[in-house]
Structure 1
Amino acid sequence: MRTPGKRGGYGALEEVFQAWEGLAECRLCVHDHSRRLNVRHGRLQYDPNRGSHRKTYPALCGQCEREICQEDCMHRLNRRVERRRERVFVKRCHAGVVEVVAPIYWNGAHVGTLFAGLWRPRHSHAQAARPPVDPEYIQRLLRVLPVLTEGLAARFWGGRELLTAATSRNAAIEDFIATHCRSGITLASMAAHLGLSTSRASHLIRELTGQTFSDLVLAKRLELAEFYLISTDYRMKEVAQLCGFSSPEHFSRIFRRCRGRTPAVFRKQEQQRQF
């Protein structure tokens, strides 16, 4: 476990996560779908390795087949959250270990997920790599982890929402795109969010931003892609899927056209430059 108070050059959120880990005596993984949590004022707010079970638990998750892990802990889990809208639940993965999962919601959208701990079932083999699960401890986590997720939603989405409601449709547009760009976002859904007709929403977006709706969505998808390419070891297929591109080929073609480099070259050059 990380040493509490040692941020390693990251923002204050890393210290919050470490303090929570010290109190709860378990690790936290974070999936930040809109990148609202991890990047603030151009600075990483927490260790990006928290976004990967494989890096947080290398002795177990790091040894599992990558595609199975991605399907189980990312895609299948996201489908469950969208379908059931649970506040918190216990998940058992394909490797047989259990963890507590708390989705982060804002305005009805699933914007992120916290994963707490990793334990083996009580009656599994005694030599298993993870400690056995304590049912009473899990029940306590089920009560307190949603408090953290709801606090994060209020802190990182709520303040912006007050600004949006009070003064700025521009901020409403930006927030909606950031939250939904990884899925099937459309001008019609944006218009409904703004309470406008599709034609009026299209005109307003161009008037406020100087760009079309499609241009804004693409810019946000490329911004997310750059973040994943630099800060994670996700494969191109995974980055494409996370950022709302229809296929790895489509992603690579659009990225190269807009950035002048393929995603693979961008990742290599930017990681060398930053690290």
Structure 2
Amino acid sequence: MPTLASIEAHLQAFESLAGCRLCVHDHARLFTGSDGQRTIGFNRGSHRVTHAICGATERELCLENCMHRLNRRVERRHERCFLKRCPRGTIEVVAPLYRGGNHVGTLFAGMWGATHSHAGHGLPPAARVELQRLQLILPIFADGLLDLCLRREEPVAQENSRKSEIHDYISSHCRGALSLPDLAARLGLSPSRAGHLVKELFGETFVDLVARERLLTARHFLVNSDYRMKEIAQLCGLGSAEHFNRLFRQRVGLTPGEYRRRHRNTLI
């Protein structure tokens, strides 16, 4: 798997050439190895850490605008690259990451001040030509990053493409409501046959497989982000913080807070 230094070198080189900061939302643990080791810097996963303006904005507003609303737009439109305008008057270039047609992450470049924004933001104004150029090259760069992260999985995919297809679909969709009929429709099978196939390939039921993927994503966010417990529960499709805490403790043996305190310092 690519190392932290190798991925960071690519990100820093792009930032130097493009003259802007990059932020990465990693929904499907693309930039985290099986051992939990990140391949990108800790600060890159949050706008609130990457950009001072976001850090000064109400947290709920940031999450709704840059996470939930943006994800709904991407999953509805499947755009290659687009401009995002923040309620605070800032502009970013956004390149979603797709795997098998599924939205698995997002790369953000920027940010700039809109022509009508207040000077107090302290941001350079958005130049139309520069934004257009960035919209051309950012998705190509994003594809290259995605390719680097997926190279390690190619042998597995070749050995069992059906298993890989199921795993990719579940890991990409477990942030929201996901049912066995959803997976069955994707595979072109009946729900009963899809359930048997999951058990045959993974050795566990569909419900257990989805729970495991959600908890793996939760562990990723606990160690690699500053998201709060209720936010992680929502991002992982686990509903309330109470349900998240109960399920996590039952399956991991620690509360989410205990897991975060125990493992974060070992990976930063």
**TM-score normalised according to structure 1 size:** 0.88
1:62-81 matches, cutoff 5 A? 62-81=55-74
Deviation at 1:43, TM superposition (A): 2.9
Secondary structure (helix, strand or coil) at the match of 1:38 reads: coil
Higher mean alpha-carbon deviation, 84-93 vs 27-36, is at 84-93
Aligned to 1:4: none
The Cα shift of 1:235 comes to 0.8
Give the structure 2 partner of residue 14 of structure 1.
8
Letter in 2 for 1:119: W
Distance 1:254 1:41, change over 3 A: closer
Q: How big is the shift at 1:170? A: 2.4
- Corresponding residue for 1:115? 108
2:209 equivalent in structure 1: 216
The CA distance in 1 between the partners of 2:267 and 2:39, in whole Å, is 16
Distance in structure 1 (CA, Å) of the matches to 2:109 and 2:61: 20
Q: CA deviation at 1:42?
A: 4.6
| Equivalent AA in structure 1 for residue 142 of structure 2 | T
Q: Match for residue 30 of structure 2?
A: 36
CA distance in 2, matches of 1:187, 1:236: 27
TM-aligned CA distance change 1:42 to 1:250, over 3 Å: closer
Q: 1:201 aligns with which of 194, 197, 210?
A: 194
- For the residue of structure 2 that corresponds to 1:115, the secondary structure is strand
CA distance in structure 2 between the aligned counterparts of 1:83 and 1:193, rounded to whole angstroms: 17
Equivalent residue for 1:264?
Answer: 257
User: Greater helix share, 1 or 2?
Assistant: 2
- Separation in 2 of the partners of 1:119 and 1:42? 33
Show structure 1 runs of 5+ residues with no match.
Answer: 1-6
Q: Which moved more, 1:73-82 or 1:201-210?
A: 201-210
Contact 1:11-1:44 within 8 A present in 2 as well: no
Is the CA contact 1:11–1:43 (under 8 Å) kept in the aligned structure 2? no
Find the residue that maps to 2:83 and give its secondary structure.
strand
Residues 90 and 117 in structure 2, CA contact (< 8 A), matched pair in contact too? no
Give the letter aligned to residue 114 of structure 1: L
Residue in structure 2 matched with residue 3 of structure 1 by the alignment: none
Structure 2: gaps of 5 or more residues = none
Whole-Å separation in 1 of the counterparts to 2:88 and 2:45: 19
- Percentage identity across paired residues of the two chains: 50
1:35 deviation in Å?
Answer: 0.7
Q: After TM superposition, what 4+ stretches of structure 1 lie above 4 angstroms from structure 2?
A: 157-163, 272-275
SS of the equivalent of 2:165 reads helix
Matches within 5 A, 1:1-275: 10-39=4-33, 42-57=36-51, 59-157=52-150, 160=153, 164=157, 167-274=160-267
Structure 1 contact 122–132 (Cα < 8 Å) conserved: yes
Residues 200 and 110 (structure 1), Cα distance of their counterparts in 2 relative to 1, 3 Å cut = same
Q: 1:172 to 1:159 in 2, by over 3 A?
A: farther
RMSD over aligned CA atoms reads 2.4
Post-superposition CA distance 1:173-198 (Å, at most 9, x none): 22222111112222122223333322
Structure 2 counterpart SS, 1:196 = coil
Separation of aligned partners in 1, 2:76 and 2:151: 24
Cα deviation, 1:228-258, whole Å, max 9, x if unaligned, reads: 1111110111100111112211111111111
For the Cα contact (< 8 Å) 1:60–1:129, is it kept in 2? no
**1:159 Cα offset (Å):** 7.8
Shift of 1:274: 4.7
Distance 1:39 1:21 in 2: 24
How many residue pairs were aligned? 267
In 2: Cα distance, 1:274 partner to 1:33 partner: 18
